[in-house]
Structure 1
Amino acid sequence: LPLQGPELSRLFNTVDSFDTHAKIPEYFRQVDESSRAAGKLSLVSAGWDPGLFSLARLLGRCVLPSGHDYTFWGKGVSQGHSDAIRKIAGVKNAVQYTIPVESALQRVRSGKNPELSTSEKHIRECYVVAEEGADREAIEKAIVTMPDYFKDYKTTVNFISEEELKARHSGMPHGGLVIRTGTTGNGTGQRMEFSLDLESNPEFTASVILAYARAIARMAKEGQTGARTVFDIPFGLLSPESPEELRKIIL
């Protein structure tokens, strides 16, 4: 995707789910440059995180400017992290679960606004099927030291058989929540939460992308070009209903 996104945006209006948070600004710059030069419109980093969770974080900061936001993922299978493990030499198959630390979650909900490091909020649990004769120690080291994915997290690596992986780890559930805690007035405590509980991460992500594709198609017809993020698109453009219908049925 880092290579295909900028190239395809020269040819088509696109919507993608680029999800390496630390690299989004540079990826956005590349796609913006290529799509703008070609007169195309592209949405980058759509999905639920980045995507819907990004919007929840933004809304929380706007409504409760005096406060802290926290993002918890899981428990669930991370597709991107699982794919990253599968690319390691000697790995036949792998699944990675992201698991929130319950004690950290309770500290946040208590309104104490704790300062939590990445490793204090989540653990990453990996189940790996190694190729026959592969160096398992080298595989484990490659996983736990991988930047942007595992390096800053408490990570456990479990080597299992292909049969066990298929029997016990073939689903694709995921979820998580964004919490904003803060104060209004003279120290009145407030808390906002947005949560997801998904039986199928890829199916839900696809639903988000399809909704945003509708918006991009409408915006492209207006002659807009370049790159956008979810921050740049009004919710109303995602809906098949007209503005009049939306005002009548759900406002």
Structure 2
Amino acid sequence: MIKVAIVGYGNLGRGVERSIKQNKDMELVGIFTRRAPETVKTEGAKAYTMDHLKQKKGEIDVCILCGGSATDLPAQTPEWTHLFNTIDSFDTHAKIPEHFAKVDQVAKSNQTTSIISTGWDPGLFSLNRLYAQSILPVGQTNTFWGKGVSQGHSDALRRIEGILDATQYTIPNKEVIEKLKAGENLDLTTRDKHYRECFVVLEEGANAEKIQEEIISMPNYFADYDTKVHFISKAELDQNHKAMPHGGTVLHAGTTHDNTKQVIEYNLQLESNPEFTASVLVAYARACVRLAKEKQYGAFTVLDIAPKYLSNRTDEELRKELL
């Protein structure tokens, strides 16, 4: 049995707990939280303080880190990789090389294994971009997200001083998608492909104008997009904006001999973004433990992992059933 710890228990951590129940080769050691454990309502797992995690070192094969990318994971992943094999879902694309280098140094120094930036983008979409560009080197790749709730962007909003709660939607430009499918070669900016819509609940006395400017100018999150900000009540947010659907498309339009058009499309439609992301993390947790057993220490991404490492089936079963 693979012994797993969940570090952080928000929507993603809850999704990981549910996913582990569907994987018969895994056992959940516990949930480790910054909150008082007695206040954390899990779905059966025991909750511990974050400080208690160090005491469980010999009982854990891999820690799945479920904090946010804005401030949690840049500190937590290197910190816990000192002691454990780790998985995270760090999704600030522009900062992945920096995050990788930091975690890689810690993991190699301490003979641990860490797979960073795991999920569906970065993650599964990264793989599909690699496959498409390798197979059709003459072509153009575009990625579209949504319409859906971005957990990372919503988390970044909630960390702004003066915001009580918030939900952010990423919305793709459908007209652009159809033109690309038809074979048009478009020179697109980030702003052309998506826009972002924010529904924000302010704390009492907060300056709406100042907060709106802080949102639309936030680097790596909103500055490169057309962003609409709606200030609404907590009741309206809870009633209309608490579901977490998402999805997206990787679209690669390329050509082979004599300008023959070929299109590769990979699409996800998700009723629950955190539960799907959690399921990806759990599969890669299995891969992480296998790499560690092979003494492959350091940081890795999904681009480094052989697909068979994700499965609980034998190589013989995979060749028979999937090839």
Show the counterpart of 1:202: 274
Match of 2:149 among 77, 81, 98: 77
Partner of 2:123: 51
- Matched to 1:59, the amino acid is Y
Residue 232 in structure 1 maps to residue 304 in structure 2: yes
Query: Any idea what SS the aligned residue of 1:247 has?
Result: helix
1:214 equivalent in structure 2: 286
What's 1:13 paired with? 85
1:93 alignment partner, SS class? strand
Alignment of 1:142 onto 2:214: yes
Q: Is 1:3 aligned to 2:75, yes or no?
A: yes
Q: Say yes or no: does 1:110 pair with 2:182.
A: yes
Aligned mate of 1:186, from 248, 258, 268: 258
2:92 matched to 1:34?
no
Q: Structure 2-normalised TM-score?
A: 0.77
CA distance in 2, matches of 1:41, 1:163: 44
- Select 1:171's aligned residue among 243, 250, 255: 243
- What per-residue deviation string (whole Å, max 9, x for no partner) do you get for residues 133-182 of structure 1? 11000010000000000000000000000000000011011000100001
**How big is the shift at 1:105?**
1.0
Match of 1:156 in 2: 228
Q: Show CA shifts across 1:212-243 (max 9, x none).
A: 11111111111110000101001011011111
Equivalent residue of 2:275, what SS? Answer: helix
Using the size of structure 1 for normalisation, the TM-score is: 0.99
Larger RCO (alpha carbons 8 Å, 6+ apart): 1
SS in structure 1 at match of 2:156: helix
Q: Could you say what secondary structure the match of 1:237 adopts?
A: helix
* TM superposition shift of 1:18: 0.4
Q: Which amino acid aligns with 1:168?
A: N
The whole-number CA distance in structure 1 between the counterparts of 2:246 and 2:101 is 30
Shift of 1:110: 1.2
Whole-angstrom CA distance in 2 between matches of 1:40 and 1:169: 40
CA distance in 2, matches of 1:132, 1:215: 47
1:73-116 per-position Cα deviation (integer Å, ceiling 9, x unaligned):
00000001001111111100000000001111111111112111
Q: What's the counterpart of residue 124 of structure 1?
A: 196
| Offset from partner CA, 1:43-98 (integer Å, 9 cap, x none) | 01000000000001000100000000000000000001001111111100000000
Identity of aligned residues (%): 57
Corresponding residue of 2:95: 23
Amino acid at match of 1:170: K
RMSD: 0.6
Corresponding residue pairs, total: 251
Separation (CA, whole Å) in 2 of partners of 1:105 and 1:120: 11
Q: Aligned equivalents of 1:152 and 1:223: distance in 2?
A: 41
Q: SS of the residue aligned with 1:2?
A: helix
